[in-house]
Amino acid sequence: MAPSATMTETTMHQLSNVKLATKEVPPAVEAAPTDSSSWAQDVHFLGDKDGKVKLRSPPSFHNVEDTRTYMKQHLAAAFRVFAKQGFDEGVAGHISLRDPENPEHFWINPLSTHFSQIRVSDLVLVSENGEVLPGGAQSAINGPAFAIHSAIHRARPDLNAACHAHSVYGKAFSCFGRPIEMLYQDALRFYNDLAVYPRYGGTVLTAEEGERIAKALGPTCRSVILQNHGMITCGRTVDEAAFLFIALDRCCHAQMLANAATCPGFEKKYIAKEEAEFTHKKSGNSNKMWLAFQPYYDQVVAEDPRVLE
């Protein structure tokens, strides 16, 4: 059952400004709240003249237990969404989510459980040293997953979630070792917000390789293309990170279609800087990305409510 929540028009970006009954949420997972006008501007919705028509926004909670439950429910649902998108492939692929009480720990999927079968109770809590902790499922995790995600969580305290999967179009486009081009509106979600790791270091088995990937992501980007490998997307919420992964995979597909169609008389037209910057701010902000994931969340929960167990 979902935790009780007070729905607000303020954005908490994976539990920003949450007050606990006994202690505060650690600063690493807090984010400055925005007022209702900022939320409305970020997602640019329209309502009635009296302000009674509301758009759902991230909930806020009064204790860490409900906070954690909400986060884990959305993490488990993200795996189900990835399965429906065809992002599953054997034991490859992982999504991590920082714990709201102990930000050096994170939740991740168990090794060798299909994305379509993952439930909240299957999620594993991992320490900063890669040890499976009490409180979550007592299951083994993917070693390369820990190397990648632990490095990202250490390097980027502003990001609480990271997604990596071997999607078909992400893999195909990664072989070019370059970012997507700003050719169409949806690509602008990644304008000046997409890095490239310009090498292939083999299966990520060492902390050093994970740290190189985190360094390539840089201090501001949310997504990175791993040359000859695939891609990683991150966010303040798992909802944001997951939707960005879906969007980037589709952008990689569209980019390759555009490249294949290019010929004399069909040259590519690039979007100008001013329009790109404006559209990135309006269409790629964290609030909009959280909202964009909610229909996917609704779909998988409606199909199988056991994902929340």
Residue-wise pLDDT for 178-192, tens only, equals 999 999 999 999 999
Q: Give yes or no for residue 14 having a pLDDT over 80.
A: no
pLDDT of residue 36: 56
Q: Note the pTM of the prediction, 2 decimals.
A: 0.88
Whether 34 has a pLDDT exceeding 50, the answer reads: no
Confidence of residue 2 (pLDDT cuts 50, 70, 90): low
d(CA 175, CA 197): 11
Spatial strand order of the sheet with 124-126 comes to 124-126, 106-108, 94-98, 161-165, 230-235, 223-226, 194-197
Spatial CB neighbours of 295, under 8 Å, sequence gap ≥ 6: none
Query: What average pLDDT does the structure give for the chain?
Result: 88
Predicted local distance difference test score (pLDDT) of residue 24: 43
How confident is residue 26, by pLDDT bands cut at 50, 70 and 90?
A: very low
Confirm if 79 and 14 have CB atoms less than 8 A apart: no
Of 5 and 22, the one with more pLDDT: 5
Q: Report CA Rg, the chain.
A: 19
Place of tokens 């917000």: 193
- On the question of pLDDT at 285 being above 90, the answer is yes
Could you write out the DSSP letters of every residue in 100-168? SS-TT-EEEPPTT--GGG--GGG-EEE-TTS-B-TTS------HHHHHHHHHHHHH-TT--EEEEE--H
Euclidean distance between CA atoms 7 and 4, whole angstroms? 9
CB atoms within 10 A of CB 130: 13
The residue-averaged pLDDT of 223-239 equals 97
pLDDT category of residue 3 using cuts at 50, 70 and 90: low
Cα–Cα distance list, 240 to 75, 106, 163 (Å): 11, 17, 10
DSSP 198: -
Domains of the chain plus CATH, in order, are: 58-308 (3.40.225.10)
